[in-house]
Structure 1
Amino acid sequence: MMPTLQVGEVGGQVRYVDYIGNLTRIAVEIVNGDDPSELRREMFRQHRIAEPDTERLSAFLPGLRDAVEAASRSGPIGPVNALLAQHPPLIHVDDHDGEGSPHLHFAANGEDAVSWLGRSCSAALAHVVCGDPAVTIGRCSAIGCERFYVDDSRNRTRRFCSNACASRTTVAAYRARRKETG
């Protein structure tokens, strides 16, 4: 289940780790080439961001992909640092909710989409590559699948991007065992 922005609010305040987790989910979604999720649409709406221009997003994608891959392996740090250098975060406290719930932001509301994504995702991925225990990225273990996922399982042992990949792998292993025993 994809968390909404309300998940993790405590007393009307957004918890910082949920902000980092949501930005990480958006980075993974973009790298995987998924259609915009409800989370992404809501984050863009709340921060007054328009969907990115396809050409600019395509130019941004290789650096983001390298940083997501590095974060999924807990390093090397070079790709994340390259993304941070190209899109330095503008850390500030924001109260865009207007409900007395100030929280940190990595980019200005209303910024162009690629700049906002670059600043926000680079900062979130920096937290992940540095070992933030609340947010981890994995790469699907299914043969032929190259997708990433945010592992929010209780003990961070998820291995597949979806139930389909897990089932396909389980069935293939079962058939291989049956073939061996003949």
Structure 2
Amino acid sequence: MFRQHQITEPDSERLAAFLPGLRAAVEAASQAGPIGPINTLLEQHPPLIRVDDHDGEGASHLHFAPNGEDAVSWLGRSCSAALAHVVCGDPAVTIGQCSAVDCERFYVDDSRNRTRRFCSNACASRTTVAAYRARRKATG
């Protein structure tokens, strides 16, 4: 994705400083609010909306950050705009937090009926196996 948008790899220190705010905004979007963390991200990384056709003629789409920008600014602008759309009720996107014990990951729920509960098949399987073992242990 970075290469496609002429973005150099992020500086690890700047990225580490950016990630807690992004996590707070993603968590807020997954719960449909509070909006404070998303507004903070928007203030720190305001989107610069533009139409881009880098995928070829007839494939125009919105970008929220210019190609070639530094990685943290590009991520911040892109993520802040996307999360603002989610928290304002974009019906095409639902963000959830994994229900598996000890997993703190988030995911985009693109299932047909928006009932996804886990970030991956590994977390779903681990949870299913743990529940099965607990039932077996309880019955003797």
- Bin the TM-score by the shorter chain: over 0.9
- Which residue matches 2:10? 52
CA displacement, residues 87-133 of structure 1 (integer Å, 9 cap, x when unaligned): 00011222334524332211111111111111111000111111211
Deviates more, 1:94-103 or 1:66-75: 94-103
CA displacement, residues 63-108 of structure 1 (integer Å, 9 cap, x when unaligned): 1010011111111111111100000001122233452433221111
Residue among 99, 102, 105 paired with 1:144: 102
% identity of equivalent residues: 87
Which secondary structure state, in structure 2, belongs to the residue aligned with residue 149 of structure 1?
Answer: strand
The TM-score with structure 1 as length reference comes to: 0.72
Which secondary structure state, in structure 1, belongs to the residue aligned with residue 59 of structure 2?
Answer: coil
Tell whether 2:131 aligns with 1:161: no
Tell whether 2:25 aligns with 1:67: yes
- Which residue matches 1:102? 60
Tell whether 2:46 aligns with 1:85: no
Which secondary structure state, in structure 1, belongs to the residue aligned with residue 2 of structure 2?
Answer: helix
- Shift in Å at residue 52 of structure 1? 0.7
Relative to structure 1, the CA distance from residue 169 to residue 97 in structure 2 (aligned partners, 3 Å threshold; closer, same or farther) is closer
Measured in 1, the distance between the counterparts of 2:55 and 2:137 equals 59
Compute the RMSD of aligned alpha carbons. Answer: 1.4
What amino acid does structure 2 have at the position aligned with 1:93? V
Runs of 4 or more off by more than 3 Å in structure 1? Answer: none
The TM-score with structure 2 as length reference comes to: 0.92
What amino acid does structure 1 have at the position aligned with 2:119? C
Structure 2 unmatched runs, 5+: none
Residue among 86, 94, 109 paired with 1:128: 86
Structure 1 unmatched runs, 5+: 1-42
Measured in 2, the distance between the counterparts of 1:164 and 1:62 equals 25
- Shift in Å at residue 46 of structure 1? 2.2
What amino acid does structure 2 have at the position aligned with 1:71? A
- Shift in Å at residue 148 of structure 1? 1.0
Measured in 2, the distance between the counterparts of 1:125 and 1:163 equals 25
